[in-house]
């Protein structure tokens, strides 16, 4: 039975039950009504409204609802709201357990102090302990100035937990408002970051400070808005139209991910028929005969995976490579594919780093990899060399060579030079390597090879263009074919395009029990 003993205090006396109900009502309301109204006017939801929108109805269980800060300076001793500006706990998304925290921008602007930081650290520890994804909803003003170094210390505490949880449980960040300074580094360490168009901003230094230090004039949107983060810096893996779209993306993304690194990826128990279908036959006509003509690699991918469904990540960044989740026989796979519609599918710094991080995520969580290759090689030039394409491009080589999950590679058309080696080649440890008859595997394209190998003959020829045409055709027939690679066992098979889906289905079935002995080490040293 609830006690009805009166409580001593400065205000009106009330029963314990009445006090509890009063405090809970204030807690659920969030900050002052005017602060909530301002948030809604900007198209943003409160922390609890966001959790209601993301989680299954009635599934949320809250931690530390009545925690208060302990600061006394700058008048803080008279302002001790319950919860301290962040809502933490656990719930379910489509019936699967997740840990969550949501910053409350209506309480101290969502800024982090000691109690706030301890609450978030506690829920992150919970996620690792029980083995479930952790989702952070970020909308705050950074470190709480009134609490000084204590606030800064807890940013480091959270970053430490991000690193410890990396590769153990999936970590997802939604940036739904400002996320600046030290606050930006924690989402940057998580696996996937979602931002909302015209609402989200993430940067280390804001426009005002930049203007005072460097004289550069910019805006928050130009500096670190969702569009900039999605297209230029690559910080955002998905740019949502609004918060509802952001929550939808997260729910779909979670459907492809295991709960932790010990669980198998989600498997919906489908059994595919590997025999050729009408949709399979469409693959025979997708790649143009002219090697210089572009096509959309998505048209290939959608005819290979279940229900033609792809969930792309970082779609707007480095569009010359596609990184996406899909399913084969109802089980999750990660897809990496060159995109001929952009830069002819060539690899550059951004594409290499984008794909390398995706490959390493899939490997960390046991998600098989499918690679579709149409790559003329690495882009070159003075700017790229100076920006470190050797060091940064090597990240993709490292990621594929490190991967221990089942790996299937299909060479669709071009596979030239270093591009052949890096895109899931047999030499980096791929398990099943296939090529279409349209594949051209060589050190370089026929035009460039002929120009180098036959420079003198071309310069002395009566009709150099006719000779060039003959030599290019000869080179393509004798060297730039998949059969030389197949003769050496670098390819397991040369197949017709319409056979691709069936081969992948049977290959992944055979690779489900794959085991790989790895040398003992603390960790490798990827060229960062």
Q: At CA 117, angle to CA 116 and CA 121, rounded to 5?
A: 120
* 17-73 pLDDT tens trace: 877 777 776 676 667 888 888 888 888 899 999 999 999 999 999 998 878 767 656
The DSSP-derived string for 452-503 is HHTHHHHHH-SSHHHHHHHHHHHHHHHTSSHHHHHHTTSSSEE--GGGHHHH
Nearest-angstrom CA–CA distance, 235 and 223: 12
Secondary structure class of 211 (helix, strand, coil):
helix
For the chain, the straight-line distance linking the first and the last C-alpha, in angstroms and rounded, comes to 61
Secondary structure class of 80 (helix, strand, coil):
coil
**Strand pairing of 238-240 and 192-196?**
parallel
**CA 256 to chain CA centroid, nearest Å:** 12
Nearest-angstrom CA–CA distance, 460 and 457: 5
User: What is the model's pLDDT at position 175?
Assistant: 96
The owner of tokens 């290019």 is: 472
The DSSP-derived string for 16-73 is HHHHHHHHHHHHHH-S-HHHHHHHHHTT---HHHHHHHHSPTT--EEE-TT------G
**CA 247 to chain CA centroid, nearest Å:** 15
| Residue 347 CB contacts under 8 Å (≥ 6 apart), including other chains | 320, 321, 338, 375, 377, 378, 379, 393, 396, 418, 419, 422
Burial class (CB in 10 A: 0-12, 13-18, 19+), 43: exposed
Domain coordinates of the chain in residue numbers?
A: 16-254, 278-445+480-513
Instruction: Please choose, from the candidates 265, 239, 242, the residue with its C-alpha nearest in 3D space to the C-alpha of residue 96.
Output: 265
Mean pLDDT score, 425-431:
96
Give me the architecture of the 16-254 domain, per CATH: Alpha-Beta Complex (3.90)
Mean pLDDT score, 80-93:
87
Give the confidence band of 1 by pLDDT, cuts at 50, 70, 90: very low
Burial class (CB in 10 A: 0-12, 13-18, 19+), 157: middle
Nearest-angstrom CA–CA distance, 170 and 260: 7
Q: Which two three-digit tokens encode residue 337?
A: 């594919």
Q: Strand pairing partners for 239?
A: 195
Q: How long is the chain?
A: 528
Phi, psi of 75 (to 5 degrees): 75, 10
User: Given 3.90.226.10, 3.30.43.10, 3.90.550.10, 3.90.870.30, which CATH number is that of 278-445+480-513?
Assistant: 3.90.226.10
* 352-372 pLDDT tens trace: 999 999 999 999 999 999 999
CB atoms within 10 A of CB 490: 18
* 257-299 pLDDT tens trace: 999 999 999 998 888 888 899 999 999 999 998 888 999 999 9
Mean pLDDT score, 74-95:
82
| Residue 256 CB contacts under 8 Å (≥ 6 apart), including other chains | 265, 266, 311, 325, 327, 332, 367
Mean pLDDT score, 174-195:
93
Q: Strand pairing partners for 333?
A: 326
Give the confidence band of 227 by pLDDT, cuts at 50, 70, 90: very high
Mean pLDDT score, 331-340:
98
Asked if residues 124 and 172 have their Cβ atoms less than 8 Å apart, the reply is no
* 230-245 pLDDT tens trace: 999 999 999 999 999 9
Asked if residues 436 and 512 have their Cβ atoms less than 8 Å apart, the reply is no
Torsion of CA 521, 524, 525, 527, to 10 degrees: 170
DSSP single-letter state for residue 6? B
Q: What's the mean per-residue pLDDT of the chain?
A: 90
Give the confidence band of 75 by pLDDT, cuts at 50, 70, 90: low
**CA 85 to chain CA centroid, nearest Å:** 28
Q: pLDDT over 90 for what percent of the chain?
A: 65
Instruction: Please choose, from the candidates 44, 255, 239, the residue with its C-alpha nearest in 3D space to the C-alpha of residue 138.
Output: 44
CATH topology agreement for domains 16-254 and 278-445+480-513 = yes
Mean pLDDT score, 470-478:
76
The owner of tokens 């805006």 is: 219
CB atoms within 10 A of CB 14: 15
Nearest-angstrom CA–CA distance, 437 and 114: 62
Give the confidence band of 143 by pLDDT, cuts at 50, 70, 90: confident
- Exposure of 387 in the CB half-sphere (CA atoms within 13 A): 12
- Cα→Cα distances 229→59, 201, 317, 353, 356, Å: 32, 8, 9, 15, 18
Nearest-angstrom CA–CA distance, 81 and 29: 11
Nearest-angstrom CA–CA distance, 288 and 271: 32
User: What is the model's pLDDT at position 387?
Assistant: 93
Q: pLDDT over 70 for what percent of the chain?
A: 94
Secondary structure class of 111 (helix, strand, coil):
coil
Least confident of 43-47, 92-96, 345-349, 454-458: 454-458
> What is the crossing angle of helices 464-478 and 446-453, to 10°?
120
User: What is the model's pLDDT at position 233?
Assistant: 95
């Amino acid at each position: 039975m609830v006690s009805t003993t009166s409580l001593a205090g400065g205000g009106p006396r009330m029963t314990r039950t009445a006090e509890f109900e009063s405090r809970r009502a204030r807690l659920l309301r969030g900050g002052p009504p005017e602060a909530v109204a301002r948030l809604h006017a900007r198209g943003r939801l409160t922390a609890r409204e966001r959790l209601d929108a993301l989680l299954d109805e009635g599934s949320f269980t809250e931690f530390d609802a009545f925690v208060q800060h302990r600061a006394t300076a700058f008048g803080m001793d008279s302002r001790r709201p319950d919860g301290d500006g962040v809502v933490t706990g656990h719930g379910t998304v489509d019936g699967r357990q997740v840990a969550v925290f949501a910053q409350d921008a209506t309480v101290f602007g969502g800024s982090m102090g000691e109690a706030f930081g301890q609450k978030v650290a506690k829920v992150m520890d919970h996620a690792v302990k029980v083995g479930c994804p952790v989702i952070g909803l970020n909308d705050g003003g950074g470190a709480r100035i009134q609490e000084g170094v204590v606030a800064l210390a807890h940013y480091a505490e959270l970053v430490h937990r991000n690193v410890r949880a990396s590769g153990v449980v999936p970590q997802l960040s939604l940036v739904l408002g400002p996320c600046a300074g030290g606050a930006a580094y924690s989402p940057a360490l998580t696996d996937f970051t979602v931002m909302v168009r015209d609402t989200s901003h993430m940067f280390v230094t804001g426009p005002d400070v930049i203007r005072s230090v460097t004289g550069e004039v910019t805006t928050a949107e130009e500096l670190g808005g969702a569009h900039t983060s999605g297209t230029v810096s690559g910080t955002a893996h998905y740019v949502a139209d609004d918060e509802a779209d952001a929550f939808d993306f997260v729910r779909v993304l979670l459907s492809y991910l295991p709960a932790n690194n010990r669980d198998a990826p989600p498997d919906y128990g489908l059994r595919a028929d590997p025999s050729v279908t009408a949709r399979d036959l469409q693959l025979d006509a997708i790649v143009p005969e002219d090697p210089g003509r572009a096509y959309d690699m998505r048209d290939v991918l959608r005819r290979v995976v279940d229900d033609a469904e792809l969930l792309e990540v970082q779609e707007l960044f480095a569009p010359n490579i596609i990184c996406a989740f899909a399913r084969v026989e109802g089980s999750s796979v990660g897809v990496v594919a060159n995109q001929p519609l952009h830069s002819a599918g060539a690899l550059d710094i951004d594409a290499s780093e984008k794909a390398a991080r995706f490959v390493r995520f899939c490997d960390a969580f046991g998600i098989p990899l499918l690679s579709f290759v149409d790559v003329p090689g690495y882009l070159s030039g003075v700017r790229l060399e100076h920006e470190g394409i050797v060091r940064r491009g090597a990240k993709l080589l490292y990621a594929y060579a490190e991967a221990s999950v089942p790996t299937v590679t299909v060479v669709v058309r071009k596979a030239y030079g270093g591009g052949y080696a890096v895109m899931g080649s047999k030499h980096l440890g791929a398990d099943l390597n296939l090529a279409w008859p349209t594949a051209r595997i060589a050190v370089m394209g026929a035009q460039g090879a002929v120009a180098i190998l036959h420079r003198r003959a071309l310069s002395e020829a009566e009709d150099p263009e006719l000779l060039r045409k003959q030599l290019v055709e000869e080179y393509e027939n004798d060297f730039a074919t998949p059969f030389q690679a197949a003769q050496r066992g670098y390819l397991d098979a040369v197949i017709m395009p319409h056979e691709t889906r069936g081969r992948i289905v049977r290959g992944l079935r055979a690779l489900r029990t794959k085991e790989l002995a790895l040398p003992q080490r603390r960790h490798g040293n990827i060229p960062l």
